[in-house]
Structure 1
Amino acid sequence: MPVPARIPSWAWVTGLTVGAVAAVAVLAVQADQGPHPSPTAARPESSASASARPTPKETAPAVVPDGSGTGRRIVYSLGQKRVWLVDASDATRRTFAVWPGTVSPDPGTYTVSSRNEATTGSDGVRIEHIVYFTAKSGVSIAFSNAVDGSSPPPASGTQTGGVRMRKADGTALWTFGSVGTTVVVVN
């Protein structure tokens, strides 16, 4: 009985490579036929930084809430879980989604009282760009971002006052929110 010829390893590698390229081509054609993001959805709204990434639901610039005052200020909407950085001419310089802590500030007008470049949050996460503006029930409430850029995990019975955001947004708020800057909290 004759012994079957052995196929060289280069032939196997070539065959597998051709098969993989064909599979990728098929997937690329299928992806090209699917929905495409619009230019508005592909860029962060009112963003000063090209590195910020919008969440999937962000398709149009969010309008600063009515009743949030005038002039240079930080506006924080509890219901929309969103912050606006508004300049002296009432133009939005940046807006972004945030992840609130378990203790929320009451609606009202505050000022940035202090800032801390970096520390460990009450949830044990290393945070930076901490901008304090009020306290409630003994819990300091501040804007911040995780050093590693992560969103906070769900709180497990811990009272937290950190209003977290993406790293690029935290940097922008840190630059904008000097001590004395007005912070308006709305529902």
Structure 2
Amino acid sequence: MARSSAGPAVAGLTAGALAIVGFLAFQASATAPDHPTQARGDSHSSAPGNGGKKKSPSSTKVPADSGTGRRVVYQLESRRVWLVGADERTIRTYPVAPSSVDPDPGAYAVTSRNMSLVGSDGVQVEHVIVFHQEDGIVFGFSAALDGSLPNPKARKKTGAVRQTRPDGKALWDFALIDTKVVVVR
């Protein structure tokens, strides 16, 4: 029986492949209304089989306790973000993947933005929107260039909230410095 000296390399490739498969599964779990019509800024979609009528799924309704006005809403329980316009209409909503630490519920504001950097978990990320920092933990939204997700069970405490690259770009365009970010349970 021949032995391969590529053991660690294969293990690294396998871990990378699992990360990609996990991210693709995360993307596939997103409900269809979140994506097809967003290029037009319409959060509602025509559901198949409903005669083409517009439908707003209750699962994507902005949480009632999220305040008013133009804001980013991050609901911890559903792991979902809403971009809400000044007219209270949802511009976009999408699922996210949180890291090992959640921010406390409350109202915050975007404090910094960075087009690209290495995240606290060592992954290259883009469209970084920071909205809170507490006890050395930075809380913000970002998209990993390699599509990886944060490890919610990591020993290192990080406050990264990962999103897909298209969702990250939409948030980047929406959330300028001082934009309100409301975190709800």
- TM-score normalised by structure 1 residue count: 0.69
Partners of 1:64 and 1:140 in 2: CA distance: 25
- Secondary structure of 2:155 counterpart: coil
Quick check: 1:108 aligned with 2:109? no
- TM-score normalised by structure 2 residue count: 0.69
Q: How does 1:13-28 map to 2 (within 5 A)?
A: none
- On the 8 A contact 2:100/2:151 being kept in 1, the answer is no
Quick check: 1:98 aligned with 2:96? yes
- On the 8 A contact 1:116/1:129 being kept in 2, the answer is yes
| Selected match of 1:44 from 11, 30, 34 | 34
- Secondary structure of 1:178 counterpart: coil
The runs of at least 4 consecutive aligned structure 1 residues that moved more than 6 Å come to none
- Secondary structure of 1:76 counterpart: strand
Letter in 2 for 1:150: S
Quick check: 1:166 aligned with 2:164? yes
| Gap runs ≥5 in structure 1 | 1-40, 51-58
- Secondary structure of 2:94 counterpart: strand
Displacement of 1:181 = 0.3
Q: Give the structure 1 partner of residue 120 of structure 2.
A: 122
Q: Give the structure 2 partner of residue 89 of structure 1.
A: 87
Letter in 2 for 1:118: S
Partners of 2:75 and 2:32 in 1: CA distance: 23
Q: Give the structure 2 partner of residue 12 of structure 1.
A: none
Against the structure 1 CA distance between its residues 92 and 46, is the aligned structure 2 distance closer, same or farther, given a 3 Å change threshold?
farther
Against the structure 1 CA distance between its residues 42 and 133, is the aligned structure 2 distance closer, same or farther, given a 3 Å change threshold?
closer
Displacement of 1:42 = 4.2
Partners of 2:158 and 2:93 in 1: CA distance: 23
| Selected match of 1:62 from 60, 63, 67 | 60
List per-residue Cα deviations over 1:124-152 (Å, max 9, x = no partner).
Answer: 11001000100122111011010123333
Letter in 2 for 1:99: A
Q: CA RMSD in A?
A: 2.0
Give the fraction of aligned pairs with identical amino acids, expressed as a percent: 47
Against the structure 1 CA distance between its residues 74 and 46, is the aligned structure 2 distance closer, same or farther, given a 3 Å change threshold?
farther
List per-residue Cα deviations over 1:2-55 (Å, max 9, x = no partner).
Answer: xxxxxxxxxxxxxxxxxxxxxxxxxxxxxxxxxxxxxxx6443585249xxxxx
- On the 8 A contact 1:49/1:168 being kept in 2, the answer is no
Against the structure 1 CA distance between its residues 72 and 47, is the aligned structure 2 distance closer, same or farther, given a 3 Å change threshold?
farther
- Secondary structure of 1:135 counterpart: strand
Partners of 1:48 and 1:141 in 2: CA distance: 26
List per-residue Cα deviations over 1:105-139 (Å, max 9, x = no partner).
Answer: 11100110111111111111100100010012211
Letter in 2 for 1:149: G
Against the structure 1 CA distance between its residues 42 and 95, is the aligned structure 2 distance closer, same or farther, given a 3 Å change threshold?
closer
Letter in 1 for 2:67: G
Against the structure 1 CA distance between its residues 43 and 63, is the aligned structure 2 distance closer, same or farther, given a 3 Å change threshold?
closer
Letter in 2 for 1:160: T
Aligned pairs, number: 139
